[in-house]
A = this chain, B = another copy of it.
Amino acid sequence: MTETRSVAVEREIPHPPEKIWRALTQPHLIEEWLMKNDFNPVVGHQFNLRGDWGGVLDCEVLAIEPNKALSYTWNFAHDDAAYNLKSVVTFTLTPTSSGTLLRMEQSGFRPDQKQAFGGAQAGWQKFFANLEQVLARTD
């Protein structure tokens, strides 16, 4: 058994869960804050997240609870073990008096994957900032 680490980001967002859910599950909105994709909100659906620089992640939808929770794999295949990532991203949405508490946890970083772990910490800050901008300018 290998111990793994998680990156978690949690933010209070002044929009209802239904609106955030759309941004998390509609491909054209996902593209705006995360990456190009062929996401489909169906358990077992396999999809890719594609970076503008030619890289691609292999993903599969694991769990969906509309407006409440979404989970998918976030895998990156590479010959070098330090870069070969098998992780799971889980979003949970909790309604609050003023909007939604959105939590993201990415689990599965092995202790020898410090660079990927540090990258994810920085990356999710950017992705969340992008997401809040998308939410601010959409209905």
Contacts and interface: CB of A to CB of B under 8 A. Distances in A.
B120 A87 contact: no
Contacts of A103: none
A9 interface: no
Interface string A31-69: 000011000000000001111111111000000000000
Contacts of A115: 36, 50
A31 to B, nearest CB: 11
B55 A76 contact: yes
Interface in A64-111: 74, 76-80, 83, 85, 87
A115 B56 CA distance: 11
Interface residues of A, number: 28
A52 to B, nearest CB: 3
A5 interface: no
A123 B56 contact: no
Contacts of A19: none
A29 interface: no
